[in-house]
Amino acid sequence: MSRSPFAPNAEADESAMLDAVGVSDVEELFDIPEKDRFDGEFDIEARSEPEVKALVSDMLAENDDLTEFMGRGYYDHYVPSVVDRLSMRSEFLTSYTQYQPEVTQGFLQALFEYQSILVELTGLPVANASMYDTASGLAEAALLASRIRQADGTVVLIPDYVRGDRVSVLENYIAGHDIQIERFATDDGTAGLDALEAAIDDETLMVYVESPTTRGTIEEHLEAIGDFAHDHDAMFTVGSDPVAMAILEAPGDLGADVVVGEAVLGMPNAYGMGLGIFATRDDYLRHVPGRLIGIGDDQDGNRAFTLTLQTREQHIRRERATSNICTNQAWVALRMAMHASQLGPDGLTDLATEMVELPRQLAGELDELPGIEAPVHDRHHFREFVARTDEPAESIVDELESAGFAVQAVDEHELQFTVTETNQHAIPDLVAAVEEVVA
Amino acid sequence: MRHYDQATFSEDDSPVYERLLSEKFGTEVAVEDTPLPDELTRDTLELPAPAEPELSRHYVRLSQQNYAVETGPYPLGSCTMKYNPPFTEDVAADPSGMVHPDRSAESVQGNLELLYQLQEYLAEIGGMADVTLQPPAGAAGEFTGNRIAAAYHEAHDEGHRSEVVVPDTAHGTNPASAAMAGYDVVEIPSGEDGRVDLEALEAAVGEDTALFMLTNPNTLGLFERDIEEIAEVVHEAGGLVYYDGANLNALLGRARPGDMGYDIMHYNVHKTFATPHGGGGPGAGPVGVVDELTDFLPNPQVDKQGEDFELVEPEQTIGKVHDFKGNWLVLIKAMAYIARLGDSGLCDTSASAVLNANYLAEQIDLEIPFDPFHHEFVASAGDLDASNMAKRMLDFGVHPPTTKWPEIVSQALMTEPTEAESKQSLDQLADAFNGAFNAGDEELSSAPHRTTARRIDQADAARNPRLSWHALDDE
Amino acid sequence: MSFDIPDNLYYTESHEWVDPETGKIGLTDFAQDELGDIVFVEFPGVGDHLETDSELGVVESIKAVSDVYSPVSGAVTDVNETLEGEPELLNEDPYGDGWLVELDLDSTDEVEALLTPDEYETHL
């Protein structure tokens, strides 16, 4: 049997260890009945390190090199090298959850700083140390609403612009609970106040809207929507992201009870891997899912950090825990805090400002072309917008792909374009390619 | 005896180890002249604004106040902290794979091939028919498994099944995931030998049973020798059997859950396939199922048609369990690790892990009530408080085991050294165990002494929650 | 280790005490010591009627959560809200300022059927 390169015991040590244990062969230590033994082979060939690198890079080279103008809940921002350098330090990368706070002050402080940055951005006093993604945050918000039951209702109201995958995740989380989802209509790309007013009643448990929305629009009536929800004792949950919240009024100041969303900062495009933010009000502190880092003095009277309020969590409360979440996205949270600090408040507001200007610019240029109208919605946009096309959207997507661009079709005659600082240089080429395709 | 001091950097004039970013660099700016109407924008934003060199020093200092696998042994039972080979980071950083999750299948054949390959590897290793890679953590995998069980029962007009059965030694995530999926949890006591008590199981299962969740080797490190009978009891009652993959690393190459009667399983890729845990995550919790259940897997699955890879929707899919495609970077690392080790390396991993646990157990003075254990054992601190013992172990420069769990062993120290430790470091760990076990009361209750922070007042932290730097403004 | 067991109270095997005069219910000295530092207490609503063995509240320490069940039946007339801000009172003064709830007892017979101080001491 060849050895694992990551199991360090030399043969001499191994025989000394076997002697100490009192067996002659390590196989004697496996107490597995013969009938349960696996005698086969996986047929996985062992490879050297360079061979594995070649294997994977050859595979990934099969991807088409497209310039992406894609978003709809997942965005590419430039992550400075310092974030990679620092977060890759093995003291961070190869540590576990901070069950022994006395030797993990560094990570605890970093997560405390992450929570603090989220508190500032969301306008809510409690932020957890991360969920998996927006969808799990949204689902946990619905479960939280149902646990608290300040309303008798069981219906979660969701505008029809929300990403379908997100709703599908929510459906899975509520499937075993007495909660139903109802969609309500949008009005020119944002939540329709009339539709919401018609849909909301005492059966409503929670109202969810996004700003910016999946379609890139900025909700202009968050406060009014929150008032609707609270008038019916329903919880008000807002989906947003840290870049947008750097300039938008904090959702917590507009009545949001919970804020969820993607961290966006700290993680470049990684095929959907990110971090779900989750922030809420003090009243719900004991119902918050996931980990919380707090402050407690140590024996010498020094300020120190620790996981706190752990009785909410699965390892103590088991089936009555606020959530089953254990492993979260802590390392991404560390990177998010680094990235936000590297930008600072000026850098972050500048970036956010650009995210309002860039889609305006791109939409303006596309609107000049025949066969395309952009943006569809007469709203303020953030990073992205929907355009209407005369030709079927799917066929335009295919042709643009052949021309080296990736965009999203969101309806039969609707395309969505997302632009950030990472692809803005390609705007002229994109516009030229679209012109050729729609002409 | 080896001792060790952790970095502290406390300042003479301050009782704090490292100042907060906000204290050092807090900056408030006015938010004005944005292209948005004023009523939509905030007035000010207050965040730290360190210059990049300052930012670097801050985080390097924090890193030096953090224990990690590359700092020393990390024998947290059940959590399985093993060495994370750095080449997997290089492989994951390949810019070609850094694409948007909504890209068309035709344009990301490379990503899909990698995912397909990992699905195939995992199915083979677990003895399962097919695997989803979407769940972003082990607990999310458990939840996915529960949802698959629910969908299966509903499809067979057995939707009334309302209970999930777990042994009292189950990881907390098992009952929590079942409850999250809407099930009532029924806990059964372990038998005197620390394994599933077949009679208790028979009494607990019935027409309401949807699922029985069981890890193997179990939490005590014991192989559930009756696993086939256990599966039969549950199957006869119409339930399914779920394998919690937390301990799969002990079986690699020697036994497969799919061959023992399990129907659904999750894999913890950081425990079994050495992806770094990153201080709490991200992880990945792929879920494998037997043939009968493949139609219920989350959407989409990666499939291969001829030379092409496709995204397909399973016929009776439960839908999605992640907004996008799960934790891609973690999945690449797992795939690369498996490809590096191959059959023989994987087999050696379990052998070395089991030998290391058994050797360490021989070297310590504590009683270990249950055996024969495999990759982990649960020692008892006897009359001592296991938490105090753990704090004292920190002073020896090692991370202590998981404490006070499972409760079946009094003052439990659940210990899993993994294959990554050499004989020398196991001896160091044993010194730490024995040093703490034989220490006096005062030495134990005042520990730790050589760490960044001394013992932290948990009660105060919980009674007066201060969860952001905003909460410190009043102090 | 010896624990304080006042003479004027009745006790349960699960370490609650009941004052037959006032209808107050709390946790015993032994219970608070077993639980360790109490950090959070959850109460029933004032006005709720509690049946015997129904859930009276939840007491949390750092690493454990314990349900408290009512040893007797009655309507809740008051809860000790001071514990919300100072849960440590339950550790410091379990029979005094650390009481949990006050009931308008349905019957004193129910209380007298509980353990006497001597019987509780034997139970410990």
**DSSP category for residue A235:** E
Q: Would you state the pLDDT for residue B12?
A: 72
How do the domains of chain A map onto residue ranges? 67-78+343-438, 81-337
Inter-chain CB proximity B463 and C62 less than 8 Å:
no
Residue C32 within any structural domain of the chain: yes
In chain B, % of residues over pLDDT 70: 99
Residue C120 within any structural domain of the chain: no
Nearest to A288 by CA among A97, A145, A153: A145
From the list B254, B420, B454, which residue is nearest A7 (CB)? B420
How do the domains of chain B map onto residue ranges? 87-340, 342-461
- Run of H or E including A353: helix A330-367
Mean pLDDT of A92-119: 98
In this structure, what are the phi and psi dihedrals at residue B211, rounded to the nearest 5 degrees?
-155, 145
b or e along A249-264 (b: 16 or more beta carbons within 10 Å of the residue's beta carbon)?
Answer: bbbbebbbbbbbbbbb
Q: Please, which pLDDT band fits residue B14 given cuts at 50, 70 and 90?
A: confident
Comparing A51-55, B71-75, B306-310, C33-37, the range with the smallest average pLDDT is: C33-37
Q: Is A310 helix (H, G, I), strand (E, B) or coil?
A: helix
Nearest to B375 by CA among B260, B217, B257, B193: B217
Q: Would you state the pLDDT for residue B474?
A: 66
Residue type at position B143: F
B356 near A303, Cβ under 8 Å? no
Q: Would you state the pLDDT for residue A151?
A: 64
From the list B66, B82, B176, which residue is nearest A91 (CB)? B66
Distance from CA of B411 to the nearest CA of C (A): 14
A286–C contact, CB cutoff 8 A: yes
Q: Is A155 helix (H, G, I), strand (E, B) or coil?
A: strand
Distance from CA of A327 to the nearest CA of C (A): 19
Contacts of C65 in chain A (CB under 8 A): 311, 316-317, 320
The C-alpha atoms of residue C73 and residue C71 are separated, in whole angstroms, by: 7
Distance from CA of C62 to the nearest CA of B (A): 6
B187 near B166, Cβ under 8 Å? yes
Among chain B residues, the shortest Cα distance to C36 is held by B459
Give the domain range for residue C57.
10-114
Inter-chain CB proximity A320 and C65 less than 8 Å:
yes
Among chain A residues, the shortest Cα distance to B345 is held by A4
The C-alpha atoms of residue B92 and residue C33 are separated, in whole angstroms, by: 51
Inter-chain CB proximity B463 and C63 less than 8 Å:
no
Residue C5 within any structural domain of the chain: no
Residue C4 within any structural domain of the chain: no
Inter-chain CB proximity C39 and B459 less than 8 Å:
yes
Mean pLDDT of A10-30: 94
| Domain A67-78+343-438 coded CATH 3.90.1150.10 | yes
Residues 6+ away with beta carbon under 8 Å from A360:
A381, B35
Q: Please, which pLDDT band fits residue C1 given cuts at 50, 70 and 90?
A: low
Residue C67 within any structural domain of the chain: yes
Residue C70 within any structural domain of the chain: yes
Inter-chain CB proximity C39 and B404 less than 8 Å:
no
From the list A88, A106, A326, which residue is nearest B89 (CB)? A88
Looking at domain B342-461, its CATH superfamily turns out to be Aspartate Aminotransferase, domain 1 (3.90.1150.10)
Sign of the dihedral defined by the CA atoms of residues A11, A14, A18, A19, in that order = positive
Distance from CA of C107 to the nearest CA of A (A): 33
The C-alpha atoms of residue A191 and residue A207 are separated, in whole angstroms, by: 11
Nearest to B235 by CA among B262, B214, B255, B267: B262
Q: Hey, of A149, A309, A311, A319, which one would you mutate to test binding to chain C, going by the most C CBs within 10 A of its CB?
A: A311
Contacts of C40 in chain A (CB under 8 A): 286, 311
Residue C29 within any structural domain of the chain: yes
Distance from CA of B20 to the nearest CA of A (A): 7
Inter-chain CB proximity A1 and B36 less than 8 Å:
no
- At C21-70, the pLDDT tens digits run 999 999 999 999 999 999 999 999 999 999 999 999 999 998 788 999 99
The C-alpha atoms of residue A116 and residue A129 are separated, in whole angstroms, by: 10
Indicate the burial class of B5 (C-beta count within 10 angstroms; 0-12, 13-18, 19 or more): exposed
Inter-chain CB proximity C62 and A286 less than 8 Å:
no
Partners of A305 in beta bridges:
A295
Inter-chain CB proximity B462 and C88 less than 8 Å:
no
Structure tokens at A192: 């329709």
Distance from CA of B196 to the nearest CA of A (A): 15
b or e along A416-436 (b: 16 or more beta carbons within 10 Å of the residue's beta carbon)?
Answer: bbbbbebbbebbeebeebbbe
Among chain C residues, the shortest Cα distance to A307 is held by C62
Q: Would you state the pLDDT for residue A3?
A: 83
Q: Please, which pLDDT band fits residue A79 given cuts at 50, 70 and 90?
A: very high
Mean pLDDT of A125-149: 96
Inter-chain CB proximity A106 and B64 less than 8 Å:
yes
Q: Would you state the pLDDT for residue B59?
A: 97
Mean pLDDT of B321-340: 98
CATH code of C60's domain: 2.40.50.100
Nearest to B243 by CA among B229, B226, B260: B260
- Answer whether residue C124 shows pLDDT above 60: yes
Q: Which of residues 198-217 of B touch A (CB under 8 A)?
A: none
How many contacts (CB atoms, under 8 Å) link B and C? Answer: 17
| Region class of C17: left (phi > 0), else alpha (psi between -120 and 50), else beta | beta
The C-alpha atoms of residue B7 and residue B67 are separated, in whole angstroms, by: 10
Mean pLDDT of B98-109: 98
Residues 6+ away with beta carbon under 8 Å from A81:
none
Architecture of domain A81-337: 3-Layer(aba) Sandwich (3.40)
Mean pLDDT of B224-248: 97
Q: Is C76 helix (H, G, I), strand (E, B) or coil?
A: strand
Q: Spelled out in words, what is the top-level CATH class assigned to the domain B87-340?
A: alpha beta
Q: What is the DSSP string of B330-352?
A: HHHHHHHHHHHHHHHHHHHHHHH
Distance from CA of C76 to the nearest CA of B (A): 26
